[in-house]
Chains A and B, each alone.
Chain A
Amino acid sequence: MARLRLEGVRHSYRAQPAQDADWALKDVDLEFEDGGAYALLGPSGCGKTTLLNLVSGLLHPTQGRVRFGDADVTELPTDRRNIAQVFQFPVVYDTMTVFDNLAFPLRNRGMAPDAVRSRVQEVAALLDLEGMLGQRAAGLTADGKQKISLGRGLARPDVNVLMLDEPLTVIDPHLKWRLRSKLKELHQRVALTMIYVTHDQTEAMTFADRVVVMHEGAVVQVGTPVDLFERPRHTFVGHFIGSPGMNVMPCQVDGGVARLGGRAVPTANRPDASLAGRRTDLGVRPEFVRFADDGIPVRVARVSDAGRHQIVEAHHGDQVIRLLLREGESVPAGAAHVAFDPAYTHLYADGWICEARA
C-alpha cells in the first residue's frame, strides 16, 4: 500500500496525565516504509508494546495521528486497518483444526469456500504446515501454534502490515533460530511491512533492515544494525546494543579537543562551543579499542574468555575500559596503554551524540 506513519503520537494510560512519568509514549514521529522489515527494540517498559498496539488499533492514542498512506486511520477499528498481529504466546482456536484456524479470518470476511481453500493451502505451504492441516490446533507444539498465528495474518489478502510482539518468548531456545529464519524468509517472499517488537538485540539485529531503539517512551535512534553499532546516537544505544556494550567515559573538552585524563583523544565528531557546561562523555566500543605502545595508560584487571575472543577489563584510575582481544593477540606484560580508533570514537553531550563531524 504505502508507508505507515505516526505523527506526534503521545499516549498515556492514565485519564489525567500530569507529569512526564505518566506518559507511556512521549511524542513519537515515525515512518515505516512499505514492505520494510523493522524492529522495535528496547528494555521492558520502554513503550514498544504500546506503540505496537497503537498501530494495530487495539489502543487509541491520547494525542497524535496514525496514517496508512494518505488515509488517517486513527479512528478506524482494528479489523478495518489491514493489519495482523502475532502475540507473545500462541493464540489459536483450540476447538478448530489447523485448516479452520487459518481459514477463520477469511470466512469472517465472507470469502468464498474455494478461494478460502486455495489461500489456506498457499499459506500452509509457506509455513511448512501442509501436513498438519487436518489436525486439531490444540495438539501442536508452541512453535507450531505460533506459525498458525502467523498464518492467520498472512492468509488475509488485505493485510499490509504484520506486527509481531515478542513472538519467540515461549519458543524453546533451540527452535528459536528456526522460527527466526522462517520470519526472515517470509519477509523476502511476501511484500509485507513487518514490525518486530523485542527486547533481545540479537533478534532485532538479525531480523530487521532498520531498527527503532526505544527508551522510556521515546524513540532514541532509527537506523540499520550497522549504524546502531558503529554510530550510536545515544549512550543508551551504546549500552544496550553489543555485548559487552560501549565504553562510556566522562571526559573534558578543551580547546576543541576531547581529553581523557589530560591526554587528547581524537574523535570522529567535532566538539563545538555549545558543549560548555554540559556533561561530556567519550564513547567507543570494545571492538575499536586496541593495546598500543603509546596512549592512555591502564592497568589490566581481568581477562575473560568469550570463545573466539577475550574480553579485557582495564582500569584507568577509576574508569573501567573494556577491549576485545582477537585470536593471536595477547595482553602486554608490564605497563599497558590503549588507543581508540578515531573513526569509531564519538563525543556525547548529556548522553546525545554531538552532531558536528570532525
Chain B
Amino acid sequence: MSARPVNQRAWWLVLPVVLLVAFNAVIPLMTVVNYSVQETFGNNQFFFEGVKWYSEVMHSSRFHDALKRQLMFTGIILALEIPLGVAIALAMPRRGAWASACLVLMSMPLLIPWNVVGAMWNILALPDIGLLGWTLNHIGIDYNYTRQPLSAWATLIAMDVWHWTSLVALLAYAGLSAIPDAYYQAAKIDGASPWAVFRHVQLPKMRHVLTIAVLLRFMDSFMIYTEPMVLTGGGPGNSTTVLSIDLVKIALGQFDLGPAAAMSLIYFLIILLLSWVFYRVMTPAEEGA
C-alpha cells in the first residue's frame, strides 16, 4: 500500500469515537483507581490508604482460589475448542449449498443471549427432568450439577464448548478458504499425504486466523460472567466461581469498593499481560505472507 499522508486534521474524524470510548473507559477507570487507593466508612467520606487494598487482594486466598479456577477453566477451554474448531473447519465442504447451510447452522449458538445459553444448559442438565441430566443418570452415571463440583465443572465446560467452538471453526474456515487452489494442486503433484498437506500448507496458512481465535477465546473465557452465573450461580458452594463472578459479588453484592476496585485493576492487568504473552508466542517475526 502506498504511504499514507500525514494529516493532523484527521483527529476531527476520530473525535466521536474517542469521546464515546473515553467517556466509558476513562471516567470509570479513574473511579476505580480512586476507590482502589481509598477507604470509606460510609457517609461519602474517603481516606487515602495507599496500596493497602492491592496488598490485601494479592494475599487473599479467596482471590487466589478464584484465579486458579479461572486459569483452569480457560486452559481447558482453549485446549478443547481450538483443536475441535480446526478439525470441524477441515471437515467442512469448501463450497456449495452444504457449506452455506453448515455455516448458518453453526452460527446459531453465537447469537443467543448469554443468559439464555446459561438457562438452556441449566434446563438441559437438570438431573431428573432434563434431556442431558436424565440420560446421564439413566445410563448409570451419578450426575447432579447442582450438588457435585465435578459435574458442575463438566457441564460448565460442555456449555462453553457448545457456545463458542463455532467461532473458532468459522475463523479457521475463513482462513482455509483463503488458501489458493494452486497450493493444493502443487502438493498433489509433489505426492504429499493429507497429513503432510495439513502440516505444511494448511496449518501455516491458518496461523493468522488461529492467533485471532486463540486471543479472542482467551480473553472472553477469562472475562466470562453470565453463562456460569445463570448455570450454577458460582456453585455448588463456590466451586465454579470464576474471577468475574467473584468480583461482581464483592462489588455489587457486598459493595466493598476498595477491594473490588483493586481486584478490578489487577484482573485487567492479568488479562493484558497474558494476552501480550499469547500474542508474542504466536506471531514470530513476520516475514510476509
Contact = CB atoms under 8 A, between A and B. Distances in A.
Direct contact of A and B (CB under 8 A): yes
Contacts of A108: 190-193, 196
A85 B190 CA distance: 10
B200 interface: yes
B186 interface: yes
**Would you call the interface of chain B mostly helix, strand, loop, or mixed?**
helix
B183 interface: yes
Interface string B108-140: 000000000000000000000000000000000
A125 to B, nearest CB: 21
Interface residues of A, number: 26
B182 A87 contact: yes
A139 B252 CA distance: 54
Interface residues of B, number: 18
A94 interface: yes
A136 B200 CA distance: 13
A23 interface: no
Interface of A is mostly: mixed
B191 A105 contact: yes
Interface centre among B182, B188, B189, B201 (most CB of A within 10 A): B189
Interface string B188-218: 1111110010001100110000000000000
Interface string A56-83: 1010000000000000000001110001
A149 interface: yes
Contact of B185 (A85, A89, A94): A85
Given A89-B182, A95-B200, A138 B288 contact: yes
Interface of B: 180, 182-183, 185-186, 188-193, 196, 200-201, 204-205, 287-288
Interface of A: 56, 58, 77-79, 83-85, 87-89, 91, 93-96, 104-105, 108-109, 136, 138-139, 149, 152-153
Closest 9 CB pairs of A and B: A108-B191, A105-B190, A91-B186, A87-B182, A79-B191, A93-B200, A78-B188, A95-B204, A94-B204
15 contacts: A58-B188, A77-B188, A78-B188, A78-B189, A84-B189, A89-B180, A89-B182, A91-B186, A93-B204, A104-B190, A105-B190, A105-B191, A109-B191, A136-B287, A153-B189
